[in-house]
C-alpha cells in the first residue's frame, strides 16, 4: 500500500534543464573547455560537484580542489541569476494537480532534489509548501544513484521505504529509488529510461489511480 509519493524536482515538477545547460556552457566557454548538449545529458540527476567533474574531463589542465570549488560557485551564481526568470508558468503540466489530488486522498508527498537551489525554485514557481517534506542538496552528502536522499525523504514523511513511490525522470534517480527499496515511476520515454515498467511522458498523462497502482505492482 503506497502511503507516500516522493517526487524529483527538475524534469518532474519543474523544468530548469535549459537554465542549467546555459550556466554550465558559459562556465565551459570561459575556461576554454568543450561542452555540448550531449555531455550535458550526463549531468542529469547528479550533484553539482559531480557535474563539474564531468565537464572537466575535457579540460586541458588539472584543477585543484580550491579551483573546483570556485568553478562550482561561479556556475551556481550564473544559474541563480537565470532562475530569476522563473514564474508560475514554469511548473510542468500536471504537477500542481497531482500534488493537490494526492493530498486530497491523504497520501503524503515529498520533494527530493539534488539541487541546493530547490527552495528558491519552488518559491518562484509557486510550489513552495505544496508537499509535506522537502529534501535537497543541502541535506545529503551522497548523490543519486545512492538512495540517501529518498531514504531521508521517507524518514521525514515518517513512512517506511516500502510504503513510498519515487517519481523520477533520470536513470540515476530511478536506480536510487530502487536501492532505497521503493517502487518507481518514470517520467520520460523508453529510450531515455529503458527497463522502467511504469512510465509516462509527464504527470499530466498519468492519473492518481495509475500512479498508486504502479506503486503496488512495483
Distance CA 162, CA 139 (A): 22
Alpha-carbon distance of 127 to 132, in angstroms, equals 11
For residue 192 the three cell numbers come to 531515455
Q: Which residues make Cβ contacts (< 8 Å) with residue 213, sequence separation at least 6?
A: none
Calpha distance 75→1 (Å, rounded): 42
139: left (phi over 0), alpha (psi -120 to 50) or beta: alpha
Is 136 an active-site residue? no
**Annotation says 8 is catalytic:** yes
Question: Which of 8, 132, 136, 169 is an active site residue?
Answer: 8
Backbone angles phi, psi at 185, to 5 degrees: -130, 130
**Active-site pick, 10, 90, 132, 169:** 10
Contact 201, 11 (CB under 8 A): no
Give the cell for residue 95: 504537477
Cα separation, 208 vs 199, whole angstroms: 13
Contacts of 101 (CB under 8 A, 6+ apart): 208
Residues annotated as catalytic (active site), given as ranges: 8, 10
Amino acid at each position: 500500500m503506497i502511503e507516500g509519493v516522493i517526487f524529483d524536482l527538475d524534469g518532474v515538477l519543474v523544468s530548469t534543464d535549459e537554465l542549467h545547460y546555459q550556466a554550465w556552457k558559459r562556465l565551459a566557454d570561459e575556461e576554454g573547455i568543450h561542452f555540448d548538449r550531449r555531455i550535458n545529458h550526463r549531468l542529469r540527476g547528479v550533484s553539482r560537484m559531480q557535474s563539474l567533474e564531468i565537464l572537466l574531463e575535457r579540460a586541458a589542465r588539472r584543477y585543484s580542489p580550491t579551483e573546483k570549488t570556485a568553478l562550482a560557485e561561479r556556475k551556481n551564481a550564473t544559474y541563480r541569476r537565470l532562475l530569476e526568470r522563473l514564474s508560475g508558468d514554469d511548473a510542468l503540466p500536471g504537477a500542481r494537480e497531482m500534488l493537490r489530488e494526492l493530498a486530497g486522498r491523504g497520501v503524503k508527498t515529498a520533494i527530493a532534489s539534488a539541487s541546493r537551489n530547490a527552495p528558491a525554485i519552488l518559491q518562484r514557481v509557486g510550489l513552495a509548501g505544496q508537499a509535506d517534506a522537502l529534501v535537497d542538496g543541502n541535506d545529503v552528502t551522497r548523490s543519486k544513484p545512492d538512495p540517501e536522499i529518498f531514504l531521508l525523504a521517507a524518514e521525514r514523511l515518517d513512512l517506511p521505504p516500502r510504503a513510498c513511490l519515487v517519481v523520477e525522470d533520470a536513470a540515476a534517480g530511478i536506480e536510487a529509488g530502487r536501492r532505497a527499496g521503493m517502487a518507481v515511476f518514470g517520467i520520460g520515454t523508453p529510450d531515455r529510461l529503458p527497463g522502467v515498467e511504469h512510465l509516462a511522458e509527464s504527470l499530466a498523462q498519468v492519473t492518481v489511480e495509475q500512479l498508486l497502482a504502479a506503486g503496488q505492482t512495483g
